Amino acid sequence: MTDAASSAARRPIEIVPSVLPADFSRLGEACLALEKAGVDRIQFDVMDGRFVPNLTFGADVIASVREHVSVPFEAHLMVHEPTWLVPHMVEAGCQTVIVHAEACTHLHRVLGQVLETGARAAVALNPASPPQLAEYVLDLVSMVLVMTVNPGFGGQRYLASMEPKLRSLRRTILERGLDVDLEVDGGIGPDTVTGATAAGANVLVAGSALFRDEQGLEHAVSELRSLAEAARSGVQA
Ligand code: DX5
């Protein structure tokens, strides 16, 4: 087994639902059900209609859900120049703030601003972005999100072509002895989680695959977790 694989194998598998496919008129109930289903965190896809061709919700909506559940929240900011929004996301109850490298003229500065709020900082990379885009901020982040779809919509096809990017980032993180998680988001489900995990991801964001599981959220979360663990044991082999 390669060192990078063993490094990946030592990081806990985390299942993080995106609420994008949820019924927004009953978002609180959806988050309660996700918490009951045993998720590790909940991701809120914040879209501004400029960085991505879609518009979702802001800090007030996240804050309205915060008091109903106790799981940590992460804000995935698909927002052009997101500096102004960072403190509002933290005040709304997000423990992790993810910004896109492509959306920040001064990415290093924005991640520093996230850290100054006391939140964990994370950087997201669009499919066309090389892993090098994160290279000089790996010391600032707790996590790198490798998008496995073009951001803006749920229910898209998983891009397996992102797996070499995951392997490259996992190798760099290991070589530099950094404590950084690798997250994937987009098209993650029972058929794709094995490839993403074997390539080095340990945090798995899923929306459609969880909400469309006919056996319910609990089944979907535990199935995804056990498939990821199995892929890891494959990695460990
Ligand atoms: C894209 C979104 C989606 C969503 C999950 O901007 O970030 O990736 O979270 O989508 P699916 O339904 O593919 O899991």
Question: How far is the C-alpha of 233 from the C-alpha of 237, rounded, in Å?
Answer: 6
Tokens 């996700």 locate to: 34
Q: What is the mean pLDDT of residues 30-40?
A: 98
Domains defined along the chain, listed by start = 3-236 (3.20.20.70)
Q: Is 40 exposed, middle or buried (0-12, 13-18, 19+ CB in 10 A)?
A: middle
Range in 8-12, 169-173, 181-185, 190-194 with the lowest mean pLDDT: 8-12
Q: How far apart are CA 208 and CA 182, in angstroms?
A: 20
For 86-202, strand residue ranges (E) read 96-100, 120-125, 143-147, 181-185
Per-residue pLDDT, 209: 97
Q: What confidence tens digit (pLDDT) does each residue in 125-183 have?
A: 999 999 999 999 999 999 999 999 999 999 999 999 999 999 999 999 999 999 999 99
pLDDT band at 233 (very low <50, low <70, confident <90, very high): confident
Concerning whether 139 is annotated as a catalytic residue, the answer is no
Compute the distance between CA of residue 40 and CA of residue 31 in angstroms, rounded to an integer.
12
What's the pLDDT score for residue 3?
58
Ligand 1 atom closest to residue 52's alpha carbon, by position in its atom list: 6
Mean pLDDT value across the chain: 95
How many C-beta atoms surround the C-beta of residue 233 within 10 A?
9
Q: What is the mean pLDDT of residues 54-81?
A: 97
What pLDDT is attached to residue 10?
A: 74
Whether 141 and 94 have beta carbons less than 8 Å apart is answered as: no
Question: How confident is the model over 89-133, as pLDDT tens digits?
Answer: 999 999 999 999 999 999 999 999 999 999 999 999 999 999 999
Cβ contact 158:187 at 8 Å? yes
* 3-state helix, strand and coil shares in percent for the chain, rounded to the nearest 5: 45, 20, 35
pLDDT band at 236 (very low <50, low <70, confident <90, very high): very low
Q: Give CA separation, 13 vs 35, 39, 92, 222, in Å.
A: 16, 11, 26, 11
Catalytic residue among 3, 23, 60, 185: 185
> Could you tell me where the beta strands, DSSP code E, fall in the chain?
14-17, 42-47, 73-78, 96-100, 120-125, 143-147, 181-185, 203-206
Q: How far apart are CA 95 and CA 97, in angstroms?
A: 7
pLDDT above 80 (res 4): no
Atom index in ligand 1 nearest the CA of residue 47 equals 6
- Is the pLDDT score of 237 beyond 60? no
- Mutation to probe ligand 1, out of 185, 208, 221 (largest number of atoms < 8 A from CB): 185
- Which residue in 45, 48, 181, 213 is the catalytic one? 45
Per cent of the chain over pLDDT 90 is: 93
